[in-house]
């Protein structure tokens, strides 16, 4: 049994506000990510290699708030976070606040496998990446006009916009209407050896200050994997995912209450909605290859692929 699931963010994603061309672009990017991970699994590769390949594909797409599509901070810089965890050994690696590592998920993987640590941040993480001969780029590599326009629309306010909020053509109108899209990306996979792995990557919040770090690189909040239960990758309002240890909470419900992955993930995401509406969603996969995609927003970019190699993608609340 092999299975891979991905997400590209959750939020106010309405078909009525999506052009046919834009929807096709998103679906093609999701399918490309699924095929990248599937190729690894189909050839006998591990779930660890598969989630990295899937997330790298999403990081390299400017459509998502990770890697090339990262949002701007208040100071017109980029601060990227990523994490990866394997369910067999519970080893994990993460980086936070990096600005010149082309693919932060690769750095997170290397922290897990080539250091005695779990989480490295900022300049230290970047120095580690250089020692590991990872792809280092100029910070301007992550610049896109679209993300800069998002920043300029709110830079004079004290508001930090979650991921790629207001992703419509009219930025000011989007902010006034409270449109939100959480652009964090992630992948979870089960390989033929029975191992589960989760990976997550993000560019953070538009207009954020003070080195804010969200849930993505926090093990147990935005990322977690456990072979006995499931692997989880989250997207949404990071502060809430940290406070309620969302990823681990799903694992705990499966472990201690014997809930299915669908029941556990849905219960946790529905609980979040009672605390704060439109907080986001998760993807989760259990040791039998069952996949759950609960979200409490209007939509979530998502997809899965199994033994047959057919990529299934979703965007709206269907």
C-alpha 277 chain-centroid distance: 20
- The closest of 75, 74, 124, 71 to 101, measured between CA atoms, is 124
How many helices (DSSP H) and strands (DSSP E) are in the chain? 9, 15
122 is in an annotated binding site: no
Beta carbons within 8 Å of 258's beta carbon, 6+ residues apart: none
Beta carbons within 8 Å of 154's beta carbon, 6+ residues apart: 161, 175, 206, 207
37 is in an annotated binding site: no
236 is in an annotated binding site: yes
156 is in an annotated binding site: no
φ, ψ (nearest 5 deg) of residue 36: -65, -45
Q: Name beta bridge partners: 231.
A: 225, 285
Point out the catalytic residue in the list 46, 73, 184, 223.
184
237 is in an annotated binding site: yes
How many residues does this entry show for the chain? 318
215 is in an annotated binding site: yes
DSSP symbol at 160: P
Query: Is 144 annotated as catalytic?
Result: no
Q: Alpha-carbon distance 287 to 308, whole Å?
A: 18
Residue numbering of the annotated binding site for substrate: 212-215, 235-238
Active site (catalytic) residues:
184
């Amino acid at each position: 049994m092999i299975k891979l699931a991905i997400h590209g963010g959750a939020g106010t994603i309405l078909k009525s506000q999506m052009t046919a061309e834009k929807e096709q672009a998103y679906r093609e990017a999701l399918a490309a990510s699924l095929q990248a991970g599937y190729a690894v699994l189909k050839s006998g590769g591990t779930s660890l290699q598969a989630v990295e390949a899937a997330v790298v594909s999403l990081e390299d797409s400017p459509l998502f708030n990770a890697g090339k599509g990262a949002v701007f901070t208040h100071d017109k810089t980029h601060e990227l976070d990523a994490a990866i965890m394997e369910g067999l050994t519970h080893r994990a690696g993460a980086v936070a606040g990096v600005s010149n590592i082309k693919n932060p998920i690769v750095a997170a993987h290397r922290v897990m496998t080539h250091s005695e640590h779990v989480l490295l941040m900022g300049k230290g993480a970047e120095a580690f990446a250089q020692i590991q001969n990872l792809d280092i780029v100029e910070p301007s590599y992550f610049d896109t006009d679209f993300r800069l326009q998002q920043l300029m629309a709110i830079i004079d306010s004290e508001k930090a916009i979650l991921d790629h909020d207001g992703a419509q053509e009219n930025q000011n109108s989007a902010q006034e209407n409270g449109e939100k899209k959480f652009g964090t990306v992630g992948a979870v996979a089960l390989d033929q050896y029975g191992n589960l792995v989760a990976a997550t990557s993000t560019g953070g919040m538009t207009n954020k200050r003070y080195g804010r770090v969200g849930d993505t690189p926090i093990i147990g909040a935005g990322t977690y994997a456990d072979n006995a239960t499931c692997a989880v990758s989250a997207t949404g309002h990071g502060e809430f995912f940290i406070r309620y240890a969302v990823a681990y909470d799903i694992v705990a419900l499966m472990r201690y209450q014997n809930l299915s992955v669908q029941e556990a993930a849905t219960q946790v995401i529905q609980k979040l909605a009672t605390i704060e509406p439109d907080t986001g969603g998760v993807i989760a996969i259990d040791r039998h290859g069952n996949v759950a995609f609960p979200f409490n927003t209007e939509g979530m970019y998502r997809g899965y692929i199994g033994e047959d190699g057919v990529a299934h993608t979703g965007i709206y609340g269907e």
